[in-house]
Amino acid sequence: MGYGPVGADALRLAIADAKGADPLAPVTVIVPTNHVGVSVRRLIASGRLGPTCSGGQGLAAVTFLTVYRLGELLGAPALAEAGRRPVSTPVVAAALRASLEASPGIFGPVATHPSTEAALVSAYRELRDLSAEALDALARQSPRAADVVRIGRAARARLARAWYDEEDLLDAAASAIADDPTRVTELGAVIAYLPERVTRHGASLLKRVAEHTDLLVLAGTTGDDGADAEVVAAARRLGDETGGDKARSALDPLAAVDPKRTRLLTASDADEEVRAGVRAVMEAVRAGTPLDRIAILFADPHPYARLAFEQLAAAGVAMNGTAVMPLSARVSARALLGLLSLPEGGFRRADVFAWLGAC
């Protein structure tokens, strides 16, 4: 299954299939991020892709949640009842700092360095999804790995009684479903939409969900093995965790990048990069591609936004995009701001004439 409108339409059809003739039948869509949930909900609700039920346009009784939000809804009450609170990065850092101070091990010479603490916090977050067996195997790899695992486990022991993190939340949600399966029936049909990186704890929660209701996995692919590796791994993990009988997945590849139409250029600096981009735009226009079907994309607006604006303006190419000059940098704004700052210096002669010259 592809991304964009193709994926959204597949989701619309899945929702329509789950609802059947009842437009108010509950459906829960598990999305990778809140942004994806908002975007696809608005697109489907607009009716541009078609109806989601026989009752007409619109979207009703469909809930869009991330897996962590689902875990919060199901597991947070039990954790709160036990007197545990959600942990934050400073609290994790404090626990690691205390464990490091008690037994620094190989990190003794750099135990008080801020970078050591930051690195251990990052490692703690990453290792929290591993099982005890995997942590044991990791600890056997080297003395440094052994101390990282040991310090992480010590910090975890300090936090477990009064705090909980996302992994604890997902485990508590899975336990809540095991204790009361009716919690899942309230969700209705569950659709995992465009899963990306599914953690072990997240897959375990969805396994519990699939034991009591249908779970459909709509995985998006590009056709490139490297780009799709995590998506394929996530779909397989969901299939393994749910037993494969109740979880159905769609992994039909859709090539987003055609190697025959992709060209890589190496430039000496940012100016030459932008010039090459503008030349590519002009070549596409001469070949018949309309300007409104061409986009120049860059990872960092500095300095590429300004350079692209200047080069396209020099080439006489009409463009549309985010302004490269803030309002405060324009002449009228500079004149007003300069005038307001003159009283601070008592309207000194030099300041006044400098202001006049700048305006």
109: left (phi over 0), alpha (psi -120 to 50) or beta: alpha
Query: How much is the pLDDT for 240?
Result: 56
Measured between alpha carbons, how far is 124 from 148 in angstroms, rounded to an integer? 8
Residue at 298: amino acid letter: F
Instruction: Give the list of residues 6+ apart from residue 111 with CB closer than 8 angstroms, or none.
Output: 100, 101, 104
Q: What's the token pair of residue 6? A: 């193709």
Shared-domain flag, residues 231 and 196: yes
Q: Is the pLDDT of residue 96 over 90?
A: yes
Query: How much is the pLDDT for 221?
Result: 79
Measured between alpha carbons, how far is 21 from 53 in angstroms, rounded to an integer? 7
Between strands 85-86 and 215-218, the pairing is: unpaired
Shared-domain flag, residues 22 and 61: yes
- Average pLDDT over the chain reads 86
Measured between alpha carbons, how far is 225 from 228 in angstroms, rounded to an integer? 5
The reply to whether 187 falls in a domain is yes
Q: Which CATH number belongs to the domain containing residue 229 in this structure?
A: 3.40.50.300
Mean pLDDT for 201-227 is 86
- pLDDT tens profile 12-68: 999 999 888 888 889 999 999 999 999 999 999 988 888 887 767 788 899 999 999
| C-alpha distance from residue 4 to each of 103, 222, 256, 273 (Å) | 51, 11, 11, 28
Instruction: Give the list of residues 6+ apart from residue 241 with CB closer than 8 angstroms, or none.
Output: 203, 204, 206, 207, 210, 247
Ranges 105-109, 130-134, 259-263, 288-292: which has the least confidence: 259-263
Measured between alpha carbons, how far is 54 from 17 in angstroms, rounded to an integer? 11
- Percent of the chain's residues with pLDDT above 90: 47
28: nearest Cα among 203, 184, 241: 184
Shared-domain flag, residues 140 and 180: no
Q: What's the token pair of residue 336? A: 């007003």
Q: Which residue blocks in the chain are alpha helix, DSSP H? A: 5-19, 34-45, 67-81, 89-102, 114-127, 132-139, 143-159, 166-179, 182-185, 200-210, 225-241, 270-286, 301-314, 331-341, 349-358
Highest averaged pLDDT of the listed ranges 26-30, 45-49, 246-250, 263-267: 26-30
Q: Residue 83: what are its φ and ψ, rounded to 5°?
A: 80, 20
Domain containing 240 equals: 5-72+169-250
Residue at 319: amino acid letter: M
Q: Is the pLDDT of residue 168 over 80?
A: yes
Q: Is the pLDDT of residue 243 over 60?
A: no
Please, which pLDDT band fits residue 303 given cuts at 50, 70 and 90? confident
Domain count, the chain: 4
| C-alpha distance from residue 335 to each of 124, 325, 343 (Å) | 52, 16, 14
| Inter-residue contact 117 to 93 (CB < 8 Å) | yes
Shared-domain flag, residues 206 and 233: yes
The reply to whether 80 falls in a domain is no
Q: Residue 19: what are its φ and ψ, rounded to 5°?
A: -75, -35
Shared-domain flag, residues 237 and 91: no
Residue at 74: amino acid letter: L
Of 250, 278, 310, the domain-final residue = 250
Shared-domain flag, residues 246 and 269: no
Shared-domain flag, residues 68 and 110: no
DSSP 51-87: -SBTTBSS--SEEEE-HHHHHHHHHHHHHHHTT-EE-
Shared-domain flag, residues 342 and 290: no
Of 226, 250, 274, the domain-final residue = 250
Q: Is the pLDDT of residue 289 over 70?
A: yes
Q: What's the token pair of residue 124? A: 């703690």
Measured between alpha carbons, how far is 129 from 166 in angstroms, rounded to an integer? 10
Shared-domain flag, residues 103 and 226: no
| Inter-residue contact 116 to 110 (CB < 8 Å) | yes
Measured between alpha carbons, how far is 202 from 174 in angstroms, rounded to an integer? 9
Shared-domain flag, residues 153 and 267: no
Of 130, 161, 192, the domain-final residue = 161
